[in-house]
Structure 1
Amino acid sequence: MTSAPESMRDHWWWRPGWKVGRRMYTWHITFDGQAELHQLVHEYQARLAGLPGLDPIPEQWLHLTTQGLGFADEVPDEVVVQVVGKVRSRLADVPPVEVSVGPAIVDPEVVRLKVHPAAALVPIRTAIRDAIIEATGSVGESPDWNPHVSVAYSNVEGPLAEIAAVLAEELPPVQTAIKDVQLILLGRDEQCYTWDTKAVVPLTG
């Protein structure tokens, strides 16, 4: 296991542009029906359950953050339609991939599952970013990317020695098939990321 940072910080500070009620269009990979991954998350959450300051992520809201598009009040509907069409066209050449998810590690704001090989997911994100550039002329967020699946978010500032100790005994990773990506309308009003799915684009290469 990699060395952990010394302290946690609250994940739920309001990042630039965010406020209660505001929503963002973003591309995520989600995990409906991925029973083995759900079980792994539940096992880690059970280990963490006695520790204060963590918000476990409900099964239906597990996700792999991929690429933002923009706040809903700044992206016209016709641009959303164009981006979805261009993503669909580009991902028609990208095949489904299988990745290994786990073990869990702790970062300052989150307990997360490693996803590897990360390189297997890069063509998916590249296709999405290229589609956004083609439709809008630019793309936000860094090209650098660390794909992961979060298990629980920190809601306090403080030491994390107990969390690191719980995670020291690793659970075996699970194999997970990535067959599509979703354009979602994302909110974060109540210390949980929730969304409405606006489009599902399969990997059909």
Structure 2
Amino acid sequence: MFRSAAWDGDAEARSAEALTPILEAAQVATRTATGRDGLLAHERWIPHVTVAYSTAVQPAAEIIEALGRHLPEREVTINSVSLVVQDGPENLWDWRTVAEIPLGAGIGES
């Protein structure tokens, strides 16, 4: 389930613990593929869905008015995990998919 306590562009997943095995598997895969640890950007991992980015400096009131303060809860299914290379500063991220791993299938199945 995804929810947002107050509009900030992200919808936080509940419960993060349910997604922890996916995070840990991704960190092991990152370590195996690159020889480096898959470090988190923040101490506390907050799985989320980002609804939109804005790179302009502008008042948020009109955007909040249009989108509302709260997002309705939704149930989602995660079918795969993508390994991406992320280049550039935060407001100009360039993501390139390196691999996509399906979830839920055994080895050799798809």
TM-score range, shorter chain: 0.5 to 0.7
- Larger RCO (alpha carbons 8 Å, 6+ apart): 1
Correspondence for 1:152 among 42, 45, 52:
52
Correspondence for 2:78 among 178, 185, 193:
178
Superimposed CA distance per residue, residues 107-135 of structure 1 (whole angstroms, 9 cap, x where no aligned partner): 3xxx1222222221111111222343456
- Distance in 2, Cα, partners of 1:132 & 1:188: 20
- Distance in 1, Cα, partners of 2:92 & 2:3: 21
- Distance in 2, Cα, partners of 1:171 & 1:137: 36
| Unmatched 5+ stretches in structure 1 | 1-99
SS at match of 1:177: coil
SS at match of 1:113: strand
RMSD: 3.2
Tell me the residue number matched to 1:94: none
Tell me the residue number matched to 2:21: 123
Structure 1 vs Structure 2: percent identity of aligned residues? Answer: 33
Letter in 1 for 2:39: G
User: Greater strand percent: which structure?
Assistant: 1
Instruction: State TM-score, norm by structure 2.
Output: 0.63
| Unmatched 5+ stretches in structure 2 | none
